Amino acid sequence: MKTAVVMKMQDLGVGYDHKAVVSHITQEIRQGQFVSLLGPNGAGKTTILRTLARLLAPQKGTVFLDGKNLQDYRQEELARTLAVVLTERNFFGMFTGFDFVALGRYPHTGFLGRLQAKDIQKTQEALQMVNAADLAGRNFHELSDGERQKLLLARALAQEPEIIILDEPTIHLDLKHRLEVMTILRRFCRHQGISVIASLHDVDIASKVSDIVAMVRDSRIIGWGEPEDILTEAMVTHLYELDAASYDRWLGAIEMKGDGASGKVFVVAGGGTGTVIYRLLAKRGFAVTTGVIHENDIDYYVAKAVGATLIREKPLEYISEQSVARANRHLNGNTLVIDTGFPVTDLNKSNLDLLKTCMAERKHIFTLRPEAEARELFGDDYEKLIFCQDELNILKALASHN
């Protein structure tokens, strides 16, 4: 079901004075949509937002709000349709949480701004919507950044707008408040039918809350669409020019790559047993090769995202001869091998054979497997394994080994 279009940008060009920042934007925003602007610093996200909020005149093209040219709105009329949340959270003066949120009633009150019963009710509702009813009596200046941000959201809501435009609403917030702010914004969209347009820095959070993401780079919108559709590893890498990290569409997260300076390690994993050790090895700077991993395994996605060399197999198939051969070629150079204690089944028992070959070649194998299980799998040779209790112990063992 498609909702009504609330905002429409037609060949919009934004910028300051005569300097164009982003040009040729033609897009629509619908009622209740959560639109995130992503992109590197200085790409023009704020400039776009300021233009959509009419804090800045467009250089070219037109913005339509409810079918009417944004520039034709009277100031109060616009304030009843569109609210903003800017990055500033320090304000001059003394007010309680309630006073602050009640300022949002401005376009609805009379000449002296006296609050009527309805205004008080709307203010209290707004406070409740952002889980800040307890902040009503507190002094604004004694609140934390996160609490202030909730009040800023409530203030915007108290304007009863159709659209709320937010510039980096999660900046400088702790994790709890960052997530809370996103939850609140999503609530605005779902329950109040408000369209939210926000610039965000966390790609992973944006992908999980947005209906639409807009990628801003090189004076253009290089992508506009549903995050499931357009937030691919290649797009995110290009958008931010990432080299030491990458975004994984399936994990919905950013993983950090290792620089490989600490040496080479071969990890035999599978069934999700490798995820923690991959990240840890990447963090400590090891060049990781791993295999043989099935393509539907979470180990596959994490290994790929941290930049490991992967020997892979098609999902739910027996590990093929070719894959084993490839793994062995990689193992040739590696003297350090990690066994993550993966569950052994018919599909992946070739991986067990890989380990046995390594043992025969007197390679150092660090394992997370319990000794009893190892004895069962490897027979008497099991004593050659280096047993480690957990991933951190493996790293310690690796360090002492080097």
Partner 1 sequence: MKATQTTHRRRLLLIATFGAAVLAAMMLNTVIGSVHISLPELWSLFLQSSDSANADILWKIRLPRVIAAVLGGAMLAVSGLLLQVFFRNPIVGPFVLGISSAATLLVAIVMLSTLSLGFAGVSPYVNTLAALTGAYGTMAIILLVTAKVKSGVTLLIIGLMMGYLNGAVTSILVAFAEREKIKQFVLWQFGSFSGFSWHELFVLSTLGGLLLCGVYALSKPLNAFLLGEEYALSMGVNIKLFRFLIVLVACALAGLVTAAAGPVAFIGLAVPHMARLSLKTSDARLLIPGVLLLGAAITSLCDLVARQLFSPVEVPISAITACFGAPIVIGLLLKRKTSL
Q: What does the binding site for partner 1 look like in residue numbers (CB under 8 A)? A: 53, 55, 75-80, 82-84, 86, 88, 91-96, 98-99, 103-104, 106-107, 109, 111-114, 120, 137, 139, 141-142, 159
Distance of alpha carbon 318 from alpha carbon 330, whole angstroms: 20
By DSSP bridging, strand 336-339 and strand 19-30 are unpaired
- How far apart are CB 165 and partner 1 at their closest, in Å? 9
- How far apart are CB 274 and partner 1 at their closest, in Å? 50
- How far apart are CB 95 and partner 1 at their closest, in Å? 6
**Which CB, 22 or 158, lies closer to partner 1?**
158
**Which CB, 17 or 321, lies closer to partner 1?**
17
Question: Roughly how many angstroms between the first and final C-alpha of the chain, as a whole number?
Answer: 61
**Which CB, 140 or 247, lies closer to partner 1?**
140
Distance of alpha carbon 161 from alpha carbon 314, whole angstroms: 51
**Which CB, 103 or 256, lies closer to partner 1?**
103
**Which CB, 78 or 394, lies closer to partner 1?**
78
Structure tokens at 189: 């969209």
Q: Is there a contact between 315 and 294 (Cβ–Cβ < 8 Å)?
A: yes
Distance of alpha carbon 227 from alpha carbon 212, whole angstroms: 6
Distance of alpha carbon 188 from alpha carbon 198, whole angstroms: 13
Sheet holding 309-313, edge to edge: 309-313, 287-294, 264-268, 336-339, 364-367, 386-387
- How far apart are CB 96 and partner 1 at their closest, in Å? 8
- How far apart are CB 73 and partner 1 at their closest, in Å? 10
Instruction: Name every residue whose Cβ is closer than 8 Å to that of residue 385 and which is 6 or more positions away in sequence.
Output: 339, 359, 365, 366, 367, 369, 374, 378
**Which CB, 81 or 351, lies closer to partner 1?**
81
Three-state DSSP at 9 gives: strand
**Which CB, 142 or 376, lies closer to partner 1?**
142
369: closest CA among 355, 387, 384, 353?
387
**Which CB, 112 or 175, lies closer to partner 1?**
112
Distance of alpha carbon 63 from alpha carbon 394, whole angstroms: 58
Three-state DSSP at 181 gives: helix
**Which CB, 155 or 217, lies closer to partner 1?**
155
- How far apart are CB 130 and partner 1 at their closest, in Å? 17
Q: How far is CA 227 from each of CA 5, 73, 104, 203, rounded to the nearest angstrom? A: 19, 32, 32, 10
- How far apart are CB 93 and partner 1 at their closest, in Å? 3
- How far apart are CB 282 and partner 1 at their closest, in Å? 43
By DSSP bridging, strand 68-69 and strand 245-248 are unpaired
Q: Is there a contact between 261 and 277 (Cβ–Cβ < 8 Å)?
A: no
Distance of alpha carbon 242 from alpha carbon 233, whole angstroms: 10
- How far apart are CB 209 and partner 1 at their closest, in Å? 23
- How far apart are CB 50 and partner 1 at their closest, in Å? 8
**Which CB, 79 or 324, lies closer to partner 1?**
79
